Amino acid sequence: MNGRRLRAIARKEILHIIRDPRSLASAIMTPLIMLLIFGYALSLDVDRIPTILFDLDHTPQSRDLAREFRGSRYFQIIEETQSYRPVEAAMDARHALMAIVINPNYARHLLAGEESSVQLLLDGSDSNTASIAQGYAEGVVQSFAARVRTDAQSMVAGKPPQIGVGVETRVWYNPDMLSRNFIVPGLIAVIMMIITGNLSSLTIAREWETGTMEQLLSTPVRPAELALGKLTAYFLVGLLDMAICLVMGVYVFEVPFKGNLFVLVVSSCIFLFGSLASGVLISASARSQLIAYQLGTLTTFLPGFLLSGFIYSISSMPRIIQAITVLVPARYFIDIIKAMFLKGTGIALLWLDFLLLCFYGAAMFFFAARKLRQKVA
């Protein structure tokens, strides 16, 4: 590989990027806009659940239970009713997700130490949110019932009962339980995979469409030099995009960063190289920019969002899908960047992900250079 020829190709591609300010602005602004939109719009937090309250007991204890739900940040009491008909109408209109029905004699059974029941009506059309809301509501009811019964026993016995076991919950790595801290690092990886893949997927195809590829083939530039030279130009753009995303993640979304910055930069460079090389491979396989763009989107957007573990847990997928996710590089980079941000994990535990990213980048570059050699032939 000749360094002079490599620099000439890289310089040519950099000049092409600079002379097309709209494409350069798009390459820089697109990840910024995507991160803002998805970072603020995409949330796994379930709170302020629209709820209807139906109290059939009308006792001080039932009113206290209603106040517990009003004071919780997870529920928003939008209406109090005295029949089931408004509950059904509100759920049909999607104005309410849940209804809490405090049954008659709730307080009498509760104070007597007997089984007391509260009915929860949920809109199961949104099954995930409904199951989370059910868990929140059951927690409020059970903690309130335990507190009332403890107070009642204390009044009868004259002293509070002894508690045999105490439960203390500690949340590691994301103590505030904010989904933003989980989403934003993975979102950075997915966005960079999409942007860099689409950027480099057009470069060779554009040369064929504009007729300049024949001129390149008449020079002594080798296929590996051509691929690496084009990669270098877009690698610089990718580094700029990555820096913008990381700064926004830390200072705009306030995601805590606990890892080693140098290790994160090295892993980002390896990931960018592999994504760009895969785009060059796609571009070398298609002489049309339209086809190259479509293939680039198909191989980056869908796998990045659905098969990388960004939103859906890979362990819960069918085994055949889990086997397919092994081919998605964003999976390994998401593991690295999440561990670096939230846990501060070092290379000692992430070496396998690093190794797989290196293997992916080397394989993509090898196949891209080989495809270019076939085109030359």
| Residue 227 and residue 358 in one domain | yes
Q: Please indicate, yes or no, if residue 291 is contained in any of the structural domains.
A: yes
What is the mean pLDDT of the segment spanning 226-239? 83
Whether residue 152 is predicted with pLDDT greater than 80 in this model: the reply is no
| Residue 319 and residue 209 in one domain | yes
- Sorting pLDDT into bands at 50, 70 and 90, what band is 282? confident
The token duo for 113 is 């130490």
What is the mean pLDDT of the segment spanning 280-296? 80
Q: Please indicate, yes or no, if residue 172 is contained in any of the structural domains.
A: no
Whether residue 353 is predicted with pLDDT greater than 70 in this model: the reply is yes
Whether residue 359 is predicted with pLDDT greater than 90 in this model: the reply is yes
Whether residue 144 is predicted with pLDDT greater than 90 in this model: the reply is no
- Structural domain range at position 103: 49-157
The token duo for 177 is 């339980």
pLDDT of residue 53: 92
What is the mean pLDDT of the segment spanning 208-221? 70
* Axis-axis angle for helices 223-247, 203-210 (nearest 10): 130
What is the mean pLDDT of the segment spanning 86-92? 89
CA neighbours within 13 Å on the CB side: how many for 366? Answer: 6
| Residue 135 and residue 199 in one domain | no
- Sorting pLDDT into bands at 50, 70 and 90, what band is 6? confident
pLDDT of residue 165: 63
What's the pLDDT tens digit per position in 106-140? 888 888 778 888 899 998 887 888 888 888 898 88
| Residue 87 and residue 215 in one domain | no
| Residue 309 and residue 335 in one domain | yes
Quick one: which of 54, 21, 48, 258 has its CA closest to 132? Answer: 48
CA 328 to chain centre: 15
Quote the number of domains for the chain. Answer: 2
What's the pLDDT tens digit per position in 313-345? 888 888 898 888 888 888 899 889 888 888 888
| Residue 198 and residue 341 in one domain | yes
Give the CA distances from residue 98 to residues 24, 52, 117, 141, 346, in Å, rounded to whole numbers and listed in that order: 49, 6, 16, 14, 44
Give the domain-ending residue among 123, 157, 191: 157
Q: Please indicate, yes or no, if residue 169 is contained in any of the structural domains.
A: no
d(CA 294, CA 3): 33
Give the domain-ending residue among 157, 189, 207: 157
CATH of the domain at 82: 3.40.1710.10
Whether residue 76 is predicted with pLDDT greater than 80 in this model: the reply is yes
Contact criterion met (CB below 8 Å) for 294 and 214:
no
pLDDT of residue 61: 87
pLDDT of residue 275: 87
- Sorting pLDDT into bands at 50, 70 and 90, what band is 358? very high
| Residue 229 and residue 360 in one domain | yes
Higher pLDDT, 288 or 320: 320
pLDDT of residue 15: 81
pLDDT of residue 52: 92
Give the domain-ending residue among 91, 124, 157: 157
What's the pLDDT tens digit per position in 299-311? 887 888 888 888 7
| Residue 11 and residue 145 in one domain | no
| Residue 198 and residue 108 in one domain | no
| Residue 255 and residue 137 in one domain | no
| Residue 349 and residue 265 in one domain | yes
What is the mean pLDDT of the segment spanning 168-196? 81
Whether residue 355 is predicted with pLDDT greater than 90 in this model: the reply is yes
| Residue 363 and residue 238 in one domain | yes
d(CA 206, CA 47): 49
Dihedral sign computed on CA atoms, order 133, 139, 142, 148? negative
- Sorting pLDDT into bands at 50, 70 and 90, what band is 375? low
Higher pLDDT, 89 or 198: 89
Whether residue 161 is predicted with pLDDT greater than 60 in this model: the reply is no
- Sorting pLDDT into bands at 50, 70 and 90, what band is 369? confident
pLDDT of residue 300: 81
